[in-house]
Structure 1
Amino acid sequence: MTSTYDDIEEGDLPEHRRSPPPVDFSKVDPSKPEDLLKMSKKGRTLMVFATVSGNPSEKETEEITGLWQGSLFNANYDVQRFVVGSNRVIFMLRDGSLAWEVKDFLVAQQRCADVTVEGQVFPGSMAKKDKAKETQQNEVNIKKKGRKTDGKTEVVNGNHASNLKQEL
C-alpha cells in the first residue's frame, strides 16, 4: 500500500511533509547565531508573539496591532495577525527567516511591551521605558521613606529590617 503523499509533487505537499531547505554553512557567520536560525527557518511558517503595553482592551489591541500589520504589509512583509488576548497577538509569517526583521520593527513600536520569537523574549521600547520609570520611582520611594541600604540590609529610621539578600 502506498502513502497518500507519494504521488504529490514536493511543492504541493503540506509544509510538515516537505523536506527542509538546504542550509549552506559556509555562508553562516559563527559569531551570529541568529543568521543560522534565519537560514533554517527560510520558507517555513513561523509565529511571532507580541504584547501590547499598558492595560488595553481587546478592541484597543486590535486597533494598535492592525496599524502594525498595515505598516508591515506596506513594507512587503506577508503577515497574518491573530489577537489571542486583551493585550496579546500572534503574527504568522509564511517565511520564518523574516521573523527577526519583523521583531526589530515591533520592538521599536511605542506600545510594544515585548516580542517573542522562537521562545526568546525581546523587550519592546515601552518595556525599557517602564523599567526605567519603575527604577526611578523605587528610588524616589526609598528617599521619601528615609531608607538607607548597605547592599545586604535595609535601614529604616535607624532600625534594621530583614535581609534583602540571603547568603546561601
Structure 2
Amino acid sequence: MKSLIVCLIVVTLSVTLVVSKKYEKDKKPAWAKKDIRDFDDADLERLFDQWEEDEEPLPADELPEHLRPPSETKSFPFDKVGSLSPDEIMKMTKKGKSVMMFINVDGAPTRDQTDTLTSLWQSALRNNHIQAERYVIEDNRAIFMFNDGSQAWDAKEFLLEQEGLLSITLEGQTHNGRKVKGPVPEKDQKKEL
C-alpha cells in the first residue's frame, strides 16, 4: 500500500513538472527576469494580467461601471422628450449609473448631530426601497451615494421636505430645503439660469 502511494505521488509530480508552462531564460520578458521583491506596480499589474488571461471574462453586471456595455434593450424615448420634465429625463439617463448627492444640514450642527440626522434620512429612504450609502464629510455636510442614479431624484424630493436640511446639490444643481428656518447663505442659494 505504501509503495502504491509513493508511486502515485512520484507520477503526479512528474506529470506536473512536464506539463507546466515554463519560459526559457532568453524568452522571458525583461520584467519577468527580475526578483519578485524588486517588482514595481507596473510589473505586478502585468503579472496580474497574465494570470487573468486564463480566466473567464466577468459577466456584464459584475464589471466596474465604466467597463459595462451600454444597455441595448432600453433605448431612450426621444419622441417623449417634450412631455417629460428635466427631472424625469435625468432619472432615465442615470438609471443603473452611480450618482452622488451632496447634502448641507441647517444650522451649526456637530459632526455627531449631522451623522445622526443623515442616518435617520438614510433609514427612511431604505424603508422606501431607495438604497443610498452615506458619508459624513464635514460637521454640516454629507454625501449620499446612489448605485442606481434614478433613485437620487426620488430621494431629492423626499429630502427637500425634511426639517434640518439646508440644501442639496445633485448633478451640479443646488436645491434649497423647503423647511429652512433662517435665511439661506449666498453660497448655498439656488443658482438661477
Structure 2 length-normalised TM: 0.61
- Aligned-residue sequence identity (percent) comes to 37
Q: Distance in 2 between matches of 1:50 and 1:69?
A: 12
Whether 2:140 is the aligned partner of 1:87: answer yes
Cα deviations by residue, 1:22-43 (Å, 9 ceiling, x for unpaired)? 4232343455222221111001
Q: Does the residue aligned with 1:116 lie in a helix, a strand or coil?
A: strand
Determine the structure 1 residue equivalent to 2:129: 76
Question: What per-residue deviation string (whole Å, max 9, x for no partner) do you get for residues 101-137 of structure 1?
Answer: 101111111100001110100000243x4239x9xxx
Q: Any stretches of 5+ residues in structure 1 without a counterpart?
A: 135-168
Equivalent residue, structure 2, for 1:130: 182
User: Could you say what secondary structure the match of 1:67 adopts?
Assistant: helix
Question: Aligned residues, how many?
Answer: 132
Structure 2 counterpart of 1:9:
59
* CA distance in 1 between partners of 2:56 and 2:66 (Å): 14
More helix by share: 2
1:60 and 2:113 aligned: yes
Distance in 2 (CA, whole Å) between partners of 1:24 and 1:13 is 26
TM-score when normalising by structure 1: 0.69
State the AA in 1 paired with 2:70. P
**Distance in 2 of aligned mates of 1:29 and 1:82:** 36
Distance in 2 between residues matched to 1:12 and 1:26, nearest whole Å: 32
Contact preservation (8 Å) 1:51, 1:113: yes
Q: 1:102 matched to which residue of 2?
A: 155
Q: Are residues 23 and 6 of structure 1, via their aligned partners in 2, closer, same or farther at CA, if it must alter by over 3 Å?
A: farther
What is residue 42 of structure 1 aligned with on the other side?
Answer: 95
Structure 1 letter corresponding to 2:164: R
Which runs of structure 2 are paired with 1:89-168 in the superposition (5 Å)? 89-127=142-180, 129-131=181-183
**d(CA) in 2 for partners of 1:131 and 1:31?**
32
Residue in 2 that maps onto 1:139: none
RMSD between superposed Cα atoms in Å? 2.6
Give the whole-Å Cα distance in 1 for the aligned partners of 2:69 and 2:89: 17
Change (3 A) 1:31 1:73: closer
Structure 2 gap segments, 5+ residues each: 1-48, 186-193
Q: CA deviation at 1:6?
A: 8.8
SS across alignment from 1:62: helix
Aligned mates of 2:147, 2:153 — CA distance in 1: 13
Segments ≥4 residues shifted beyond 6 Å: 1-6
User: In structure 2, do the counterparts of structure 1 residues 20 and 36 end up closer, same or farther at CA, with 3 Å as the change threshold?
Assistant: farther
More strand by share: 1
Native 8 Å contact 1:61 1:87 kept in 2: yes
